[in-house]
Amino acid sequence: MRPCERAASVASVAAIALLLALLAARALALPVPYLWGGKQARIELPPALAYDLPPVVGAADASQPLVMIDPGHGGFDSGARTPAMDEKDLTLALALALRDRLLADGGVRVALTRDDDSFVALGERAEAARRRGADLFLSIHADSAGMENERAGEIAGASIYTLSERASDAAARRFAARENAADRINGQALSGQSATVNAILVDLSQRRTQAQSERLAALIEREGRGRLVFHPDPRRSAALEVLRAPDVPSVLFESGYITNPQDVARLVSGPGRTEFAGVMARAIRLWFAQARIEAGRRGEEANQGRPIRDSP
Ligand SMILES: [Zn+2]
């Protein structure tokens, strides 16, 4: 490589690094100098990074519970890919099917973190659920066994993820550290409290949220048995960024493997999608019914001066 070529190559690497840094900083279409020409140029970055809160649809009554559905990936983030399909398209189609089903059944409000092919950062998804006051957050994804894996096509079935215990502890710590004194969690203002009290409030909220997330995961598994195809080990937990809202019960549903032809055929078929939407909508409905009973019981106990029992 001649020195001038090397210089150009270094400049290109520097330009890419700068572009990545700008992406990381969520800067949009900033004027960026061409490192190799000394001119100003406007680099087109992916749209929709400046995220508006998604609209809420469904029951006009704001006292009705709100489900935030989160179709994984979007925009330049395709998710898992096969020659036939991008994960982002599959997740959006499933999310829209579930939204339509929930709205058709009535009694809930629904919002989607995205309803088109736009990019939404992970942190913004969970944050949108919090800011909209969502009662439940359901992220929809599809797994990939890796194209280089020779037996990838044999691995199949849906999995249900919740935030892992270790991760939720860490998330609680980070949340407590990150949130400023003006924030609220489960209706409790964190302002004016000592750091210790704040940490306890966040911890209590996180523990209850975790239990409620597990309850939804269990309902999805129960309702889906015999109707959906599950992975042999369908209940999992992981340190998933999108599940880190400390006060919104959150589950991530891996709907199947896009590297498995049967999973894909089922998930893109009308009947497969209807079955998926039916199972999820029923699990969500049952979850809200149980939550209402729990809330009633807690209210009774509080009225009778007995200690408030945490929901299971
Ligand atoms: Zn995904």
What tens digit of pLDDT does each residue of 107-137 get? 999 999 999 999 998 888 998 999 999 999 9
Residue 3 and residue 141 in one domain: no
For residue 13, the model assigns a pLDDT of: 54
For residue 180, the model assigns a pLDDT of: 36
Residue 13 and residue 65 in one domain: no
Domain that holds residue 27: 1-46
Residue 224 and residue 97 in one domain: yes
Residue 143 and residue 270 in one domain: yes
Q: Indicate the number of domains in the chain.
A: 2
Distance 211 CA to ligand 1 centre (A): 24
Residue 170 and residue 129 in one domain: yes
Residue 147 and residue 30 in one domain: no
Residues by chain with Cβ below 5 Å of ion ligand 1: 72, 79, 141
Residue 193 lies in a domain: no
Distance 62 CA to ligand 1 centre (A): 31
**pTM exceeds 0.85:** no
User: CA 293, CA 290: separation in Å to the nearest integer?
Assistant: 5
Residue 141 lies in a domain: yes
Distance 284 CA to ligand 1 centre (A): 21
Residue 77 and residue 130 in one domain: yes
Question: What CATH number is given to the structural domain containing 298?
Answer: 3.40.630.40
Q: What is the average per-residue pLDDT within 50-55?
A: 81
Residue 122 and residue 38 in one domain: no
Residue 104 and residue 213 in one domain: yes
Residue 40 and residue 67 in one domain: no
Distance 71 CA to ligand 1 centre (A): 9
Residue 308 lies in a domain: no
Share of the chain above pLDDT 70, in %: 69
**248, 125 Cβ separation under 8 angstroms:** no
For residue 136, the model assigns a pLDDT of: 97
Residue 32 and residue 142 in one domain: no
Residue 190 lies in a domain: no
Residue 309 lies in a domain: no
Q: Which residues contact 103 (CB under 8 A, 6 or more apart)?
A: 57, 58, 110
Structural tokens at position 164: 């892992």
Distance 86 CA to ligand 1 centre (A): 10
Distance 188 CA to ligand 1 centre (A): 33
Residue 37 and residue 65 in one domain: no
- Please, how many CA atoms are within 13 Å of residue 40, restricted to the half-sphere of its CB? 3
Residue 292 lies in a domain: yes
Q: What pLDDT, in 10s, does the model give residues 257-305?
A: 998 999 999 999 999 999 999 999 999 999 999 999 988 888 877 777 5
Residue 274 lies in a domain: yes
Residue 161 lies in a domain: yes
